[in-house]
Amino acid sequence: MSSVGIVIVSHSPKVAEGAADMVRQMVGDEVKVAWCGGDPTGGLGTSVEKIMQAIDSAWSAGGVAILVDLGGAETNSEMAIEMLPPERQGRAVVCNAPIVEGAVIAATEAAGGSPLEVVKRTAEELSPQ
């Protein structure tokens, strides 16, 4: 079975890239990690198109877990999921977790072969209740 892929979506491309770099350094290359950030003009923001490209890049048979920084990133990620082919929509989830810590723990869980539901739940355990 393929490891769950990880997508990091931030309003800042540098934050997204830095979080992805931390995941790769701490977990290695056995989990696909993609990131995106910034609006189409290069400013702060997110883009549904960029998110869809990141989902495609990190896609595996195990699905993808998406970590986001702010509300707009979550909204655009949900829109990107809705635009996926129907067979993929149920295999992409947004995790309500801190972007850096959540991405690292989600990737660690994915590297161990856990299914998407467990990866999501483990990342979300980091969020304050």
User: C-alpha distances in angstroms, 75 versus 58, 80, 118?
Assistant: 19, 9, 22
- Determine the residue type at 118: V
pLDDT at 28: 92
Q: Which residue has the higher pLDDT, 34 or 71?
A: 34
The catalytic residue positions are 11
State the average pLDDT for the chain: 95
Whole-structure pTM value: 0.95
Cα atoms in the Cβ-side hemisphere of radius 13 Å centred on 63: 21
Domains of the chain, residue spans: 5-124
Q: What's the pLDDT score for residue 107?
A: 97
Region 24-52: what's the mean pLDDT?
94
| Domain 5-124 grouped into CATH 3.40.50.510 | yes
